[in-house]
């Protein structure tokens, strides 16, 4: 009997792991034993690891009040259109997702509000105000990024301004900001470019957030280690006959870091980092339409007919999505749409006791 019961619980767990979050949230209320199983942290981790068809979350920054802000698309077409929590028209930065969680930055009057958001379970966590002032988002050299410490599953947010000697890192487990003197030396001028990725996808991989720094026809990689909370510097690909163009961008190639470098016309080179500071040129490709996003060895492009197509740089295969929207041609600042690789999860970002801070305690002062 004990063996039969253990077997049935294991079978039930496997069935539940294959279900979407929406169904799991319903089942938690149906049966107490099912709820205990689904609420177990190990179940949440295994559900994240479960291989599922890739989805893309499309956020419409210009959506009217009666239109859905979020559309989920996959190989099968348009999976769902939703009116999630409407964050207003003051979103300046949306990054993600990491295990189903996004980071949102909003500027409200002369203050900055930082928020973590899980669309699947509709949880929102506003971060407390930092004890230092933040430079507004329109200053392209300052950075607010987020990542995950893999060992502890602790979400963290980093604020960094290369013009200042101090940076700040927020940890969900501490629920506070830590101000620290950083060890990074980056000069910001017309010859040294240290800007945010113009493609608003997360340059996060295995506990590190990455930036591409271009300096006088050379490039280097700067990363932030979320575990040790320190910056790390390494060499980029060697400079060959081509320059590193200002349109060059980081991309993720599976579990490796990559660079897509504009060469000439429609020609781009794809570089892959095989170990820290060691790079190989993977392939030269021709892209004739606008790049919208990157994910898992693939580039998301926008066609002239306002549709999305993915191109896998390793397999040379393309895939056309059913979704069509004229906003795909425009940037968020003017009401366009952004495309994010998304894998829904049960990850909870609520504070212990489900307590939430008053918004007055979450506004970090913005200074110009």
Q: Is the dihedral of CA 50, 53, 54, 56 positive or negative?
A: negative
Q: Is 266 helix (H, G, I), strand (E, B) or coil?
A: coil
Residue 114 exposure: Cα atoms within 13 Å on the Cβ side: 28
Four-CA torsion 95, 97, 99, 104, nearest 10 degrees: 40
Q: What is the mean pLDDT of residues 56-72?
A: 83
Q: In Å, how far are 125, 173, 226, 283 from 152, measured between CA atoms?
A: 18, 9, 11, 36
Report, in this order, helix, strand and coil percent for the chain, each rounded to 5. Answer: 15, 45, 40
Where b means 16+ CB within 10 Å and e means fewer, 212-251 reads bbbbeeebbbbbbebeebebeeeebbeeeeebbbeebbbb
* pLDDT grade for 1, boundaries at 50, 70 and 90: very low
d(CA 249, CA 262): 9
- Quick: pLDDT tens for 246-305: 567 888 898 899 888 888 888 888 989 988 878 888 999 999 888 888 888 999 999 999
Q: Which of 95, 75, 22, 10 lies closest to 46, judged by CA?
A: 10
d(CA 8, CA 48): 22
Rounded to a whole number, what is the largest CA-CA distance in the chain? 74
Q: Which residue has the tokens 């690909």?
A: 237
pLDDT more than 70, % of the chain: 87
- Quick: pLDDT tens for 195-253: 566 555 568 999 999 988 877 667 788 889 999 999 988 877 766 545 555 567 888 89
Q: At what angle do helices 21-30 and 32-39 cross, to 10 degrees?
A: 140
Lowest mean pLDDT among 178-187, 266-275, 342-351: 178-187
Q: Which residue has the tokens 């927020």?
A: 170
Q: What is the mean pLDDT of residues 17-23?
A: 86
The answer to whether 106 and 87 have CB atoms below 8 angstroms apart is yes
Determine how β-strand 307-312 pairs with β-strand 298-302.
Answer: antiparallel
pLDDT value of position 183: 78
The answer to whether 174 and 266 have CB atoms below 8 angstroms apart is no
- Quick: pLDDT tens for 65-108: 777 888 888 877 777 776 665 666 678 888 988 999 999 999 88
DSSP at 163: T
pLDDT value of position 262: 81
């Amino acid at each position: 009997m004990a063996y039969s019961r253990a077997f049935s619980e294991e079978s039930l767990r496997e069935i539940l792991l294959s279900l979407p979050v929406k169904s799991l949230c319903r089942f938690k209320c149906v049966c107490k034993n099912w709820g205990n199983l689904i609420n177990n942290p190990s179940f949440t981790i295994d559900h994240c690891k479960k291989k599922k068809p890739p989805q893309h979350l499309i956020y419409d920054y210009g959506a009217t009040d009666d239109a859905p802000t979020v559309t989920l698309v996959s190989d099968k077409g348009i999976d769902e259109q939703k009116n999630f929590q409407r964050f207003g028209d003051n979103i300046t930065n949306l990054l993600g997702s990491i295990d189903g969680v996004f980071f949102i930055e909003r500027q409200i009057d002369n203050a900055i509000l930082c928020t973590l958001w899980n669309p699947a379970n509709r949880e929102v966590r506003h971060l407390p105000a930092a004890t230092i002032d933040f430079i507004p988002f329109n200053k392209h050299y300052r950075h607010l990024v987020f990542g995950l410490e893999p060992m502890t599953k602790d979400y963290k947010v980093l604020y960094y301004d290369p013009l200042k000697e101090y940076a700040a890192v927020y940890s969900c487990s501490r629920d506070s900001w830590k101000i620290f003197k950083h060890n990074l030396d980056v000069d910001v001028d017309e010859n040294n470019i240290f800007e945010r990725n113009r493609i608003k996808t997360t340059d996060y991989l295995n506990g590190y957030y990455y930036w591409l720094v271009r300096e006088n026809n050379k490039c280097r990689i700067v990363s932030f280690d979320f575990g040790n909370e320190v910056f790390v510097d390494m060499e980029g690909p060697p400079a060959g006959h081509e320059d590193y163009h200002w349109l060059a961008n980081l991309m993720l190639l599976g579990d490796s870091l990559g660079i897509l470098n504009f060469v000439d016309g429609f020609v781009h080179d794809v570089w892959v980092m095989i170990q820290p500071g060691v790079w190989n040129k993977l392939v030269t490709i021709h892209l004739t339409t606008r790049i919208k996003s990157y994910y898992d060895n693939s580039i998301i492009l926008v066609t002239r007919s306002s549709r999305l197509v993915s191109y896998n740089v390793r397999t040379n295969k393309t895939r056309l999505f059913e979704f069509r929207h004229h906003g795909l041609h425009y940037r968020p600042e003017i009401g366009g749409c952004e495309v994010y690789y998304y894998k829904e999860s049960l990850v909870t970002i609520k504070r212990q006791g489900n307590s939430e801070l008053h918004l007055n305690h979450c506004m970090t002062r913005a200074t110009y």
